[in-house]
Amino acid sequence: MEDKAFLQHALEQSFLHPLVIESERIKITSDSFCCETLQISDTEFLYAQPYRITAEQIKKYMQNISAVISTRQNKRLYTEYELYKHDLAENIIVPNTYPDIKKIGKQLDLQTVSRQAAQKKKITATLFPPSFITEFNKITEQYTADFNRCKELLKQNQKAVGLSLIDDFAAIFEQNMKKFGLSHFVFWINRKRFLYYLNEAAQLLKTHQQLDADFCRTHTFFGEKIKLMHKSVAQCHTMLHELVRLLQEMSFDSQLYGIVQELLVSRQRFDNALKKYRAQNPADNVAQITSIRHNMSDIFKSYALLCYFNGVRCAFEYKYLNEAPQQRNPELPTVSPQDEIKKIAKIVGESTKIDSSAGKLGKLYTSALGKYASTQRKLQSLLTH
């Protein structure tokens, strides 16, 4: 396989199969309702709606590949790739028995301490801005701190949170029910199931029972096995999942589930029940709490996109570049580990000085960083007023 074809294949696979490195909270999986969609979730932000990246979005991102691997527009990519192939062929390594080898690898952000591993960083840097890694690490710390701060604030304002949640549930429920009309057969025929499943979830939670982790997936809709209906059925599942997520957030006050059940019967009964609940649970900061809750979701979406982009970079550097079709000698332990480590550190240092921010992928990554920063500033404003 020629160089250009291999690099294109490696990048395509990276966008399709991103890799999360050393993250205990972020998971990237295939959407259980639509296998062509990636789903990003935060295992500590349990009630956040998973962020979905559709096949159409991925295809749009992949349209940038042809430009970034152009031999005319990115000559340095091929210069660095030639050096990589040379290092692969020699296959010189620092023995795993060398003192502090794991610590050195961690300091240099290398899975293996070798010139070929370091050279991969220079290849990657011609495509993805090296500054993204530094910014992403800072944002990860910031995201965790902001999340914990908001979590504590919401805990201190449970009455306002309850009213905020019930308002959100009603708004999203009514918006979704408009889709279950006669104009769309799949939605219309699934209307009763949708209401039944919501009532079932509310009743279980109302009686202090836990929902199964796969509650939404195992509650099926008409058309599951009909190919032409897959997309519409997937939407039914997605809408059910969003509303069930809100129900699970209400677990601190079982009265809220009774109000939800009234909404499933009629708007009038819901309004009466909610009016009574408001009188018993007054709160004057519902609007602020709602803004904070919504902004937390926006921040998660922005952070999830950064996790996806970082996962693409990691997959390219740590997995798919390893598949380069280059003949290699058997591993040859270096006779001078200290000198070899100096060479490796120098290569890693050089990779951080490569500027690819003006490239197609560079602009994509920079834009995602800017979007996160804007969302985070909005949260800070909400928290300080």
Provide DSSP, 259-314: HHHHHHH-HHHHHHHHHHHHHHS--S-HHHHHHHHHHHHHHHHHHHHHHHHHHHHH
pLDDT of residue 185: 84
Q: Decide: 99 and 119 in contact? Cβ < 8 Å.
A: no
The residue assigned the tokens 């050279």 is 119
Digit-coded pLDDT (tens) for 227-259? 888 888 989 999 999 999 999 999 999 999 999
Digit-coded pLDDT (tens) for 354-365? 999 999 999 999
pLDDT of residue 35: 57
pLDDT of residue 169: 97
Q: How confident is the model at residue 15 (pLDDT cuts 50, 70, 90)?
A: very high
Is 90 exceeded by the pLDDT of residue 299? yes
pLDDT of residue 340: 96
Digit-coded pLDDT (tens) for 122-173? 999 999 999 999 999 999 999 999 999 999 999 999 999 999 999 999 999 9
Q: Which residues pair with 93 in a beta bridge?
A: 333
Q: How confident is the model at residue 333 (pLDDT cuts 50, 70, 90)?
A: very high
Digit-coded pLDDT (tens) for 176-215? 999 887 678 888 999 999 999 999 999 999 999 999 988 9
DSSP state of 245: H
Q: How confident is the model at residue 90 (pLDDT cuts 50, 70, 90)?
A: very high
The residue assigned the tokens 């380069």 is 324
pLDDT of residue 312: 97
Is 90 exceeded by the pLDDT of residue 30? no
CB-neighbour burial class of residue 140 (10 A; exposed 0-12, middle 13-18, buried 19+): middle
Is 90 exceeded by the pLDDT of residue 46? no
pLDDT of residue 34: 57
pTM of the model: 0.91
Question: SS3 string of 155-207?
Answer: HCCHHHHHHHHHHHHHHHHHHHHHHHCCCCHHHHHCHHHHHHHHHHHHHHHHC
pLDDT of residue 374: 96
In the chain, DSSP finds a helix count (H) and a strand count (E) of: 17, 5
Q: How confident is the model at residue 384 (pLDDT cuts 50, 70, 90)?
A: confident
d(CA 254, CA 205): 7
Is 60 exceeded by the pLDDT of residue 71? yes
pLDDT of residue 270: 97
pLDDT of residue 184: 84
Q: Please give the C-alpha separations between residue 94 and each of 88, 226, 330, in angstroms, as whole numbers.
A: 14, 56, 13
Integer-rounded Cα radius of gyration of the chain: 26
Is 80 exceeded by the pLDDT of residue 331? yes
Tokens of 62: 């992949």
pLDDT of residue 217: 87
Q: How confident is the model at residue 328 (pLDDT cuts 50, 70, 90)?
A: very high
Express the helix, strand and coil content of the chain in percent, nearest 5 each.
Answer: 65, 5, 30
Share of the chain above pLDDT 90, in %: 83
Digit-coded pLDDT (tens) for 336-356? 999 999 999 999 999 999 999
CB-neighbour burial class of residue 122 (10 A; exposed 0-12, middle 13-18, buried 19+): buried
Q: Please give the C-alpha separations between residue 54 and each of 30, 264, 286, 301, in angstroms, as whole numbers.
A: 10, 31, 34, 14
d(CA 317, CA 112): 12
pLDDT of residue 191: 94
pLDDT of residue 63: 96
* Strand-by-strand arrangement of the 26-30 sheet: 26-30, 38-42, 51-53
Average pLDDT of the chain, as a whole number: 93
d(CA 29, CA 52): 10
